[in-house]
A and B are shown apart, each in its own frame.
Chain A
Amino acid sequence: MSTEHDHDDGDAGRTGTFGDYGGQYVPEALMPALQELEDAYERYVLENEDGFMDEFRERMRDFGGRPTPLQRADRLSERYDREVYLKREDLLHGGAHKLNNALGQVLLAKYMGKERIIAETGAGQHGTATAMAAAHLDMPCEIYMGRTDVNRQRPNVYRMRMNGAEVTPVEAGSATLKEAINETMRDWATTVERTHYVIGSVVGPHPFPQMVRDFQAVIGDEIREQIRETAGRLPDSVVACAGGGSNTMGTFHAFVPDEDVDLVAVEAGGSSLEIDEEEGLAPNSATLSTGTDGVLHGAMTKLLQAGDGQIVESHSVSAGLDYAGVGPELSHLVETGRVTPANVDDEAALDGFHRLSRLEGIIPALESSHALGYLEESADELGDLVVVNVSGRGDKDLETVLEETEKRDLEAAPDVEVFDG
């Protein structure tokens, strides 16, 4: 709602807005911390003071495994009769793009002289990445995770604990990601003077959406360079899944000025796009496609909400996309028409999961599977040269996939009933 508008390259203006979106809607106690963070972000990240970005890139290479490959998907290219490339973020340390942001922020916290790291996690991907980064950089770390998620994502809870993080279950509400963010913000409002909150996506108050994007932008920067090398030109389309939107913005950022490159953000259509206002439930998390403007977790953005302003519970078969909000910059880029929102339902995502596993020998995360489901549905709209971001690997999803596959008749799925035998 600020009057400060930014330029079209997506950089936030003075007050941290992207068009009508963004801002800093947080309790007063956090405002000085956001200003301190903004200052540190400008000095260390934007201006590379004390060689911060050099150290970040070096650690992402040696500890993280960057750069990740851009791989031609031979059988998908054949199937869709066009050139299909996969950006292999699933090969990053930890098995997802999440480390780009987590390591960046934990390192920044260290440069800022903070003594403690806190973070929220939904399915546990951001929590595990933050726990790894905190262990790597020797910082105490506490992760807030909804009780429901703690119970259904045990392996990730163990991974975080193995890395020395404390995992604190959150019991409020539906006890999932939204409540975990609320509780982490409360911790931060209490301990702000010595604690840094490593937010897990391009969401939250300024400068988080911009800063997280910048840490993730390495994905798109690498794609640009790699595709020019292999294909000799920029792609016709770039496709990425979108929940909060960190892999999406990371993949798209470098291409935003290239008007000829179509950018498609694929959200979770879940089981239906309708909101049940009575129950306060959205059986999807297609915020960009169906949401309306409002304020959640510190930013003006598109939301899944009831008419009176209460936030509804989202749902997706993919826990990592299961969020009622989305990054404000993505809302802006959709509003201006630069990014095209799309969505596929749970079934199409599961099919996408099985197809990539069978055809390419890559088991993708259920999040990334939405982008692959979209490729199957709409390949002919994507031009001759397509890049799909495989944001993470799917080992974590095997149980869910087996369970969900048994309930359905999926084209690309193997016979899962014999798996136990």
Chain B
Amino acid sequence: MSEYDGEVEAAIRENHPALITYITAGDPSLDDTEEYVEALDRGGSDLIELGLPFSEPIAEGRTIQDAITRALAAGTTPEGFFELVDDLETEAPLLVMTYYNMILQYGDSEAPRASDEASGARRERSEGLDEANGEAVSGQRPRAKPDVRPFVERAADAGLSGIIVPDLPAEEAEPLRQACDDNGLDLVFIIAPTTEGERLDRIMSHVSGFAYVQARLGTTGARENVSGATHESLERLAEYDVPKAVGFGVSKGDHAAEIVEAGADGVIVGSALVDIIAEADTPADAVDRLEAKARELKRGARRGAETVTIDPEDAPEPEQP
């Protein structure tokens, strides 16, 4: 048993500085995703986030939106996703990244989604038969109350280590946090550039796995530079003793170096990898390029860490050229 609280934190602390990679499951097919995840694992990923596609991805930039569209068009379902994870054997622990409604509705696929009565009786609240439970529900139409537990239990069964939900702020997260705790999963929270004061304290005190530091306001997407907001955020978070990984816009080894140098324990890269998948001529080409990209990023992160292993207090004055 590691000295850390769970395998997600251990993966970051023990492989410091950590590389966390993201791709969308099912883009362009679940079979391809399996190959791609293995390539990212070989390339040195310390954690891998797999996106379970949702039709309304409000936190994503165009790159990942398009990946989600492709994955949904390919017929990716939550069950197909979990079956993929069942089969995956990676060094890196796996996390699922998805939107809250996907978690709420899982395990409810057999329940009636539209009232048969509604067409006949337009106004009256009809006597309904809840087909899922085979029980008559008096005075109510058949309906299913959403529940987070079936998803979390299935995720734990599949061997996932944690969950990231971009549309679930800490204030709404209690039911999911409870379910994750009960099933030994980490629920990773995002810290935005606008997260400050009391809320920041509260969220940081609940960090599970790592703090996902959003590098800039806006949506996901590869960028050319590391934003000033990243440096500000890492300074602001320096006093909290939790692993911090920075995402949103990271696309190059040099970015990884700069971010780790600025105090991050890990970098999170998604859109740059999704771009590779979208642009590759063949799946085999994508596999090669994903593995190479992961190596570049991990090397960059290590380079950044070498620069910061010298305590600034003890560092010699930089030599003048």
Contact = CB atoms under 8 A, between A and B. Distances in A.
B and A form one assembly: yes
Interface of A: 1-3, 15, 23-33, 172-173, 178, 182, 185-186, 189-193, 264, 269, 272-275, 277, 280, 282, 286, 289-290, 292-298, 303, 305-311, 337, 340, 342-344, 377-378, 381
B257 interface: no
Nearest to A275: B114
A118 to B, nearest CB: 13
A241 B102 CA distance: 30
Contacts of B194: 28-33, 192-193
A27 B192 contact: yes
Nearest to A310: B55
Interface of B: 54-61, 65, 69, 72, 77-79, 99-106, 108-111, 113-115, 118-119, 122-123, 125, 141, 143-146, 166-172, 174-175, 189-196, 199, 214, 217-219
Contact of B143 (A1, A2, A292, A295): A292
A255 B199 CA distance: 38
Contacts of A26: 58, 167, 169
Nearest to B145: A293
B104 A307 contact: no
B123 A381 contact: yes
A269 B61 CA distance: 34
Nearest to B146: A293
A296 B54 CA distance: 11
A195 to B, nearest CB: 11
B273 to A, nearest CB: 20
A211 to B, nearest CB: 18
A292 B113 contact: yes
Contact of B172 (A2, A306, A378): A2
Contacts of B57: 182
Q: Which 7 A-B pairs have the closest CB atoms?
A: A309-B105, A190-B218, A29-B192, A307-B109, A290-B114, A310-B55, A273-B119
Contacts of B199: 31-32
B210 to A, nearest CB: 15
Contacts of B195: 28-29, 31-32
A309 B115 contact: no
B123 A378 contact: yes
A172 B218 CA distance: 17
Contacts of A2: 172
Given A27-B192, A31-B171, A273-B118, A190 B102 contact: no
A296 B114 contact: no
A15 B171 contact: yes
B172 A27 contact: no
A32 B56 contact: no
Given A23-B172, A26-B169, A32-B194, A310 B113 contact: no
A28 B190 contact: yes
A3 B174 CA distance: 10
B104 A295 contact: yes
A24 B115 contact: no
A309 B101 contact: yes
Given A190-B219, A308-B106, A309-B104, A24 B190 contact: no
A290 B128 CA distance: 12
A208 B79 CA distance: 35
A190 B217 contact: yes
